[in-house]
DNA sequence: ACCTGAACACCGTTCAAGT
DNA sequence: ACCTGAACACCGTTCAAGT
């Protein structure tokens, strides 16, 4: 990273170069290491020079978010709303896993950025082309953003949040301590029952991709059922 | 709040009093106003006095989270897993709406706190008592924590995040500007189609509670179906 | 032994002085 | 006109000096 700064020192700053460096810094060192001062140092520049390209740190974060959202695949040219939506969501997931700081950064901002609105808009477009009423499409979009537990369980993984330490080897599996197993027997049971892995381990023992697709298909199948029934909010199923 | 500090100045500090004041401060002024120094001032105490009761700010946040999790209703004495789970999730939602900073705070920590583990454990317990295999219960818990869009759409509401300004009147509805409607026609369409409200407004026009229960029932109905079919991950439905 | 002021190593951002 | 060093108003936390 130091050599990179060396190479680029003389090339002029630009908003794009600032944002790109910020994303790299957050990816590699963690979002808590992203300060205007650290970022300037990475770019071989005095801190105040950044303010020529971003108004302040909030705008920097917005720009970073838009850069990440731009990595999501565009909708495939396909008429099957279910397949298109599924692939789009899985693409977004891949992007968010590449940039572990991004999901929380997006949630922490209180206005959606333009790129994010564009992404959501095209997701709704896919549903509309699939024959969804605006009414049902509306509720579906909300459902996609809901978290029943109030937080995303996937995020309980230290190795994800902290910056990658250069190497890509996974963390050593954290054992489920015996005392915790006694206190939380049900959690211990489902941790060990994870059939796709054979260890008595939480977190590391779960196949996150499997779990994600499980939830995704649960939702998509339910949505498909409502869609086929011609569901409207004025005529709810229950 | 100043008078409160006055009243309590002489009563000795305790971990509980520190945590309680921290939750109040975050609720009223927003999580970004929660600094060790501000908190100490609210308590009429020198900043360093806090460190007698919490090791550092991270531990303070953990304590605040546990305090909030403690507000979630215990499971009702009922044998119907679906009703119990539904009520529990709605109770958690109410708690998280009372403490707008809490959801993001929980996601930002990378280890679950003891109270949170206890809550999750009892949720799994409800499923097990309802006849769920540990396998299915495991996947269900993951599904409950999943967010298809990578972020929770509910959180795009400035009035939620920023501290309450004393008054409880809602923010004036933010209009969906014409230029945005042209750029994001599908979003504009679903915003206006929100049948439970009659305005051309995003955010304010949505009945969040309705949307939450829509998603919740979509998931619960799908889960019930899998449960009745005796679903296991070695014999998936698709 | 306990408490706490000052100090340290950071922040984001303003502003005035330099070119 | 542009650039930037110093300064301001904050952080969390350490540590040594006070009682």
CATH number of the domain to which B29 belongs = 1.10.10.60
What count of residues does chain B have? 238
Tokens of B238: 């698709």
Q: Using CA atoms, how far apart are residues A88 and A119, in angstroms rounded to an integer? A: 10
pLDDT at residue B121 is higher than 70: yes
Q: Which residue has the higher pLDDT, A116 or B169?
A: A116
Q: Using CA atoms, how far apart are residues A134 and B138, in angstroms rounded to an integer? A: 34
Same domain, A206 and A168: yes
Return the pLDDT at A79: 84
Cα A189 to Cα B85, B229, B235, B236, distances in angstroms: 19, 22, 20, 21
Same domain, A117 and A164: yes
Tokens of A100: 């572990």
Q: Using CA atoms, how far apart are residues A136 and A175, in angstroms rounded to an integer? A: 44
Return the pLDDT at B10: 56
Kindly list the averaged pLDDT for each block of 10 residues, start to end, along chain A of length 238. Answer: 46 90 97 97 95 96 97 93 95 94 90 91 94 92 84 54 41 62 87 55 67 91 92 68
Q: Which residue has the higher pLDDT, B143 or A178?
A: B143
Inter-chain residue contact A141 with B150, CB threshold 8 Å: no
Residue B68 lies in a domain: no
The answer to whether strand C lies under 7 Å from the CB of residue B49 is yes
**Site of tokens 């919490």:** B54
Same domain, A81 and A181: yes
Same domain, B105 and B219: yes
**Other CB atoms closer than 10 Å to residue B32's CB: what's the count?**
12
Residue A104 lies in a domain: yes
Residue pair A205/A191 in contact by the 8 Å Cβ criterion: yes
Residue B83 lies in a domain: yes
Among residues A98, A40, A218, the alpha carbon closest in space to that of B146 is found at: A218
Q: Using CA atoms, how far apart are residues A145 and B148, in angstroms rounded to an integer? A: 6
Inter-chain residue contact B154 with A146, CB threshold 8 Å: yes
Return the pLDDT at A153: 64
Q: Between the CA of B94 and the C1' of D10, what is the distance in angstroms?
A: 34
Average of pLDDT values for B183-203? 66
Give buried/exposed letters for B2-30 (b at 16+ CB in 10 A, else e): eeeeeebeeeebeeeebbebbbebbbebe
Same domain, B82 and B49: no
Residue pair A187/B120 in contact by the 8 Å Cβ criterion: yes
Q: How many domains does chain B have?
A: 2
Which percentage of chain B shows pLDDT scores above 70?
A: 78
Same domain, A105 and A219: yes
Return the pLDDT at A154: 60
Residue pair A88/A136 in contact by the 8 Å Cβ criterion: no
Same domain, B159 and B86: yes
The residues facing A232 across adjacent strands are: A235
pLDDT at residue B163 is higher than 70: no
The answer to whether strand D lies under 7 Å from the CB of residue B38 is yes
Among residues B100, B136, B113, B123, the alpha carbon closest in space to that of B23 is found at: B100
Return the pLDDT at A237: 54
The answer to whether strand C lies under 7 Å from the CB of residue A37 is yes
Query: Please, what is the average pLDDT of chain B?
Result: 82
pLDDT at residue B56 is higher than 90: yes
Return the pLDDT at A6: 45
Helix (H, G, I), strand (E, B) or coil at B18: helix
Cα B46 from chain centroid (whole Å): 31
Inter-chain residue contact B155 with A118, CB threshold 8 Å: no
Return the pLDDT at B218: 93
Same domain, B167 and B199: yes
Residue B50 sits in which domain range?
2-54
Residue B193 lies in a domain: yes
Same domain, B29 and B111: no
Residue pair A218/B143 in contact by the 8 Å Cβ criterion: yes
Residue B188 lies in a domain: yes
Residue A237 lies in a domain: no
Q: Between the CA of A47 and the C1' of C10, what is the distance in angstroms?
A: 14
Q: Which positions on strand C lie below 7 Å from a protein C-beta?
A: 3-6, 10-15
Same domain, A81 and A50: no
Per-residue model confidence as pLDDT tens digits over B4-55? 444 444 567 899 999 999 999 999 999 999 999 999 999 999 999 999 999 9
- Least confidently predicted of B89-103, B133-147, B166-180: B166-180
Same domain, A49 and A137: no
Q: Which residue has the higher pLDDT, B171 or B88?
A: B88
Q: Using CA atoms, how far apart are residues A109 and A232, in angstroms rounded to an integer? A: 32
Number of Cα atoms under 13 Å in the Cβ half of residue A46:
3
Average of pLDDT values for B151-160? 54
Per-residue model confidence as pLDDT tens digits over B59-104? 999 999 999 999 999 999 988 999 999 999 999 999 999 999 999 9
Q: Using CA atoms, how far apart are residues A227 and A234, in angstroms rounded to an integer? A: 14
> For residue B138, what is the nearest residue in chain A, using CA coordinates?
A190
Inter-chain residue contact A121 with B184, CB threshold 8 Å: yes
The answer to whether strand C lies under 7 Å from the CB of residue A58 is yes
Residue pair B149/A144 in contact by the 8 Å Cβ criterion: yes
Return the pLDDT at A21: 97
Distance from CA of A134 to the nearest CA of B (A): 5
**Other CB atoms closer than 10 Å to residue A204's CB: what's the count?**
18
The answer to whether strand D lies under 7 Å from the CB of residue B56 is yes
Among residues B66, B57, B143, B148, the alpha carbon closest in space to that of B99 is found at: B66
Residue A234 lies in a domain: no
Same domain, A171 and A202: yes
Residue A69 lies in a domain: no
Domain with A184 in it: what CATH number?
1.10.357
């Amino acid at each position: 990273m130091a050599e990179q700064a060396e190479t680029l020192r003389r090339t002029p700053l630009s908003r794009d170069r600032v944002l790109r460096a910020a994303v790299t810094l957050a990816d590699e060192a963690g979002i808590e290491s992203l300060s205007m001062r650290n970022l300037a140092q990475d770019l071989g520049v005095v801190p105040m020079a950044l303010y020529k390209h971003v108004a302040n740190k909030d705008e920097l974060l917005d720009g970073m978010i838009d850069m990440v959202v731009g990595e999501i695949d565009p909708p495939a040219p396909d008429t099957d709303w279910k397949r298109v939506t599924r692939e789009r969501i899985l693409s977004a997931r891949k992007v968010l896993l590449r940039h572990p700081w991004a999901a929380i950064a997006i949630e922490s901002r209180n206005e959606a950025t333009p790129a994010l609105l564009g992404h959501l808009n095209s997701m709704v477009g896919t549903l509309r082309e699939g024959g969804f009423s605006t009414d049902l499409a509306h509720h579906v979009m909300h459902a996609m953003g809901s978290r029943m537990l109030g937080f995303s369980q996937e995020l309980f993984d230290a190795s994800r949040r902290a910056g990658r330490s250069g190497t890509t080897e996974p963390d050593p599996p954290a054992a489920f301590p015996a005392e915790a197993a006694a206190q939380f027997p049900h959690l211990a049971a489902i941790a060990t029952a994870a059939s796709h892995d054979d260890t008595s381990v939480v977190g590391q023992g779960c196949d996150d991709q499997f779990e994600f697709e499980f939830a995704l298909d649960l939702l998509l199948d339910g949505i498909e059922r409502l869609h086929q029934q011609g569901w409207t909010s004025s005529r709810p199923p229950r």
